[in-house]
Amino acid sequence: MSLRVKICGITQADQGRAIVHLGATALGFICVADTPRYVSPQQIRAIVDRLPKDLTTGQSIDRVGVFLDASLPEICQTVAIAGLNSVQLHGSESPEFCHKLRFALPDVEIIKALRIRVPEALSQADFYQGWVDALLLDAYHPTLSGGTGETLDWSTLRSFRPRCSWLLAGGLNSENVLDALSAVTPDGIDLSSGVENAPGDKNLEQVAKLFEQLRQIYQKEG
């Protein structure tokens, strides 16, 4: 399976391990205090240290910290404490901020999330592509920054071809993921509320069903 699959909002070590075994290629940790899925840097590290390692490389899968308009020192400190190798910026961070972050953390992946309210908002991607490794497109919500369960209008993304890789987010679950991937061709997908019992409590049966659905796609292609 070449599609990148990121399960975000991990709060429990046993669930993190199980989700890796089911097939996820990245786990996301919410580093935004006072939000339902928040985990401290120390809690993230405790989860990361228990993740299974690749037998060939000895590395664990991608560990993504999700930040919302955090300061550069805060991000760098969290990355170091938590053992992250990827940073997702989910606020109003500017291209200039991404540029500074790139120099501060040259070996860490930078993902910039864009909340898409109207098709014209896709033009934001042009400003960031030179400074980030990947983009993540999420559904716009007037008061929430993510994990809303709301989907994007996939038809508006059919011609979206940024120069960097991109992930589709926003209300994805095991029931609609095949429809989404038949409408658009992202390099990866990001799920959170669509595979949860409650914020931060993942439904492993739903995660397993998700990967069963994805295998259908790749079996057909094979």
- Residues annotated as catalytic are 8, 138
137 bridge partner residues: 114, 168
Q: How far apart are CA 1 and CA 26, in angstroms?
A: 13
| Distance spanning both ends of the chain, measured CA to CA | 10
Cβ atoms within 10 A of the Cβ of 221, count? 7
Q: Give the DSSP H or E segment for 30.
A: strand 26-30
Q: Give me the residue label for tokens 């490389």.
A: 57
Cβ contacts of residue 68 below 8 Å, gap of 6+?
Answer: 32, 90, 91, 145
Q: CB of 130 within 8 A of CB of 106?
A: no
Cβ contacts of residue 134 below 8 Å, gap of 6+?
Answer: 109, 110, 111, 112, 164, 165, 166, 167, 187, 188
Q: CB of 164 within 8 A of CB of 130?
A: no
